[in-house]
Amino acid sequence: MDNFHLISNQKLTFKTVFTILKNGYKLKLSEESKAQIIACRNYLDKRIAENDEPIYGINTGFGALYNKSISFEDLGQLQENLVMSHASGTGEEVPSEVVKLMLLLKINSLAYGRSGVQLMTVQRLIDFFNEGIFPVVYQLGSLGASGDLAPLAHMSLPLLGKGEVIYKGEKRPAMEVLQEKGMEPIRLQSKEGLALLNGTQFMSAYGIYSVLKLFRLSDMADIIGALSLDAYDGRIEPFYEGLHTIRHHLGQVQTAQRFRELLDDSEIIKQPKKHVQDPYSFRCIPQVHGASKDAINHVASVLSEEMNAVTDNPTVFPEEDLVISGGNFHGQPLALALDYLAIAAAELGNISERRTYQLIAGKRGLPSFLVANPGLNSGFMIPQYTAASIVSQNKQLCSPASVDSIVSSQGQEDHVSMGANAATKAYKVVMNVGRILAIELFNAAQALEFRRPLKTSSYLEDFLQKYRQRVPFVQQDKIMHDEIEKSIQFLYEVEYELPDALIPGI
Could you list the active site residues?
56
Residue of 471, 437, 473 whose CA lies nearest to 452: 473
Distance in angstroms (rounded) separating the CA atoms of residues 349 and 457: 24
Distance in angstroms (rounded) separating the CA atoms of residues 318 and 311: 17
How large is the angle between the packed helices 458-468 and 201-231, nearest 10 degrees? 110
Whether the Cβ atoms of residue 207 and residue 303 lie closer than 8 Å to each other? yes
Whether the Cβ atoms of residue 214 and residue 432 lie closer than 8 Å to each other? no
Residue of 250, 168, 191, 147 whose CA lies nearest to 48: 191
For the residues of 129-166, what is the DSSP string, one character each?
A: HHHTEEE--EEE---SSSSSHHHHHHHHGGGGT-SEEE
Q: How many CB atoms lie within 10 A of CB 100?
A: 18
Whether the Cβ atoms of residue 433 and residue 387 lie closer than 8 Å to each other? no
SS (H, E, C) 109-126: HHCCCCCCCCHHHHHHHH
The 8-class DSSP code of residue 317 comes to: E
Residue of 33, 34, 60, 29 whose CA lies nearest to 314: 60
H or E element that contains 171:
strand 170-173
CA atoms within 13 A on the CB side of 375: 2
Whether the Cβ atoms of residue 314 and residue 55 lie closer than 8 Å to each other? yes
Distances (CA, A) of 231 to 34, 49, 371, 497: 58, 74, 14, 26
Q: How many CB atoms lie within 10 A of CB 472?
A: 13
CA atoms within 13 A on the CB side of 394: 30
* Cβ neighbours of residue 189 closer than 8 Å, sequence gap 6 or more: 41, 45, 75, 76, 79, 118
The 8-class DSSP code of residue 399 comes to: S
C-alpha angle 58-117-103 in degrees, rounded to nearest 5: 120
